[in-house]
Amino acid sequence: MAKYIFITGGVVSGLGKGITSASLAYLLKSHGYHVAMQKFDPYLNVDPGTMSPYQHGEVYVTDDGTETDLDLGHYERFAGVRCDRHSNYTSGKIYSSVIAREREGGYLGATVQMIPHITDEIKEAIRSAAKPGIDIVMTEIGGTAGDIESLPFLEAVRQFKNEAGTGNAIVIHLTLVPFIKSVGEMKTKPSQQSVSILHNIGIFPDVLVCRTEVAMAEEQRRKLSLFCNVPDDYVIEERDVQHSIYEVPQELADRGLDNKVLELLRLPVTESHLDDWHELLDRVLHPQKSCRIALVGKYAGLRDAYKSIFESFAHAGIALSTKVTCDMVEAEELETDCSKLDAYDALLVPGGFGSRGVEGKIAALRHARTHGIPTLGICLGMQCMVIEYARSVLNYNAANSTEFDEATAYPVIDLMENQRGVTSKGGTMRLGAYPCQLVKGSLAAKLYSELSISERHRHRFEYNNAYRAELEKAGLKVCGTSPDNSLVEMVELPDHPYYIGCQFHPEFKSRPFAPHPLFVGLVQAALNHQIKE
């Protein structure tokens, strides 16, 4: 039977529950246990797929095509777990399921209520992760204690823990212990009040993980233990790391969090194996080289909008012992002048939706193509590569995507035929993992070191095959397609130092121990670009 860990948060949002949860999962896996992870979000959207990145950060996509919270990226990257549709539930998803069942008569005429029907649905969602072979299920509850939206989830956790029995389910509460610089003192009161809210709900945390800027004195630890009803040994300090989030697992291991959790769950405290992580961390902290890369996007005001891309650069940097500095450049600022890009060693143009910033991305790609700057285009970035090449090389000045100009005379990017006339956004997208066949001898094949790959998608519009022959004859080569050759997945310029685009999102499959080849290739090309200059 699986054991369960629930992670809640208090005082403020943005404390890093996702990274803390993923780091703990990695430590538990290092003891030999099989871990599954979930994120429950209290908002009413069914999923984050239609939400602005400024509202929610990036939308992370799993192999099975589920659009999820970005914390699932931390789960897959840190812990090496594989997430799916059972890994992310929202209030909207829970309520929709209950209402649909009520409409079908599934409750046999009963009055449908928050308790027990909504909470029962949440508990069933928790159990859905306990697949055969899973030892521990970790469930992170989004939001903070006291949020109205989170109350049904917290009530379900209370019920679930009580039903599971002692030693089968625990609650870890992540909280903030702020240091007030003006008085030179650490304050425990916010954490006390946060835990008090949980006590009023009927949840008594087993472990208190305290985010701090400075070292916690024994006096503060005893105070938190006394007022939060948590044994002193289970008040864990999680101090801000100095250099990289990849220091967090080691920080928690040094505090003995993994051993304490196993003891609470009444599982054998086996020896952990962290040698690989120590080696990785050493490469993170002691790079031998450095490079600067510009990320030309339309959400430059929020780094979380491109979270997986930044992490993919970190992974590539680890592989090449390189510190990769990735600066966000607002695409709209480049529409008339791209000279600022000359200060960078490489360029990445990411995905996105809507017309804002597209002309700036196209201008940036024209500059990178003609000035020999290594470039990677992802999803819309690849589509902009095609548009720019059609305009500049084929002299199709009106070339565009029908996403931005339905009447364009040269629709080099267009909807697939079976999507025409459909206005729904989510229902017509290519979502999740699809196979791709690479062209033998291409740069793409060289980077991947294989011809058959699988990558995750999130888009509606495709490369228009009607222009394929013309574009290839002009030099923009197709280097990856769907297995039946009907969909173009990748393009490249063979006579350029590094100019390659992909319709999929490679950042979703990059891992610290398995960096994505397209990012490794771009960073290596950036280093080569430095040498040439």
For residue 433, the tally of other CB atoms under 10 A from its CB is 18
Q: Which residues contact 375 (CB under 8 A, 6 or more apart)?
A: 346, 347, 348, 349, 365, 368, 369, 496, 498, 499, 500, 522
Q: Which two tokens stand for residue 100?
A: 């649909």
- CB-based contact 512:246 (threshold 8 Å): yes
Q: Which residues contact 415 (CB under 8 A, 6 or more apart)?
A: 402, 428, 460, 461, 462
d(CA 412, CA 145): 50
- CB-based contact 501:377 (threshold 8 Å): yes
Phi, psi of 371 (to 5 degrees): -110, 5
What are the CA-CA distances from residue 173 to residues 123, 129, 423 (Å)?
19, 21, 43
For residue 391, the tally of other CB atoms under 10 A from its CB is 18
268: preceding bond cis by omega (within 30 degrees): no
Catalytic residue among 76, 237, 462, 507: 507
The DSSP letter of residue 115 is I
Catalytic residue among 56, 459, 505, 516: 505
On the 0-12 / 13-18 / 19+ scale of CB atoms within 10 A, 225 is: middle
Q: Which of 317, 324, 353, 283 lies closest to 51 in space, CA to CA?
A: 353
Assess whether 507 carries a catalytic annotation.
yes
Assess whether 379 carries a catalytic annotation.
yes
Q: Which of 438, 439, 434, 389 lies closest to 416 in space, CA to CA?
A: 434
- CB-based contact 159:123 (threshold 8 Å): yes
Q: Which two tokens stand for residue 410?
A: 């040269």
On the 0-12 / 13-18 / 19+ scale of CB atoms within 10 A, 469 is: exposed
Per DSSP, the chain holds a count of helices (H) and strands (E) of 17, 23
The DSSP letter of residue 150 is G
Q: Is the dihedral of CA 433, 374, 449, 385 positive or negative?
A: positive
On the 0-12 / 13-18 / 19+ scale of CB atoms within 10 A, 533 is: exposed
d(CA 70, CA 307): 8
Assess whether 505 carries a catalytic annotation.
yes
Q: Which two tokens stand for residue 22?
A: 């993923």
d(CA 47, CA 68): 6
Catalytic residue among 379, 384, 436, 502: 379
Tell me the residue length of the chain.
Answer: 533
Q: List the catalytic residues.
A: 379, 505, 507
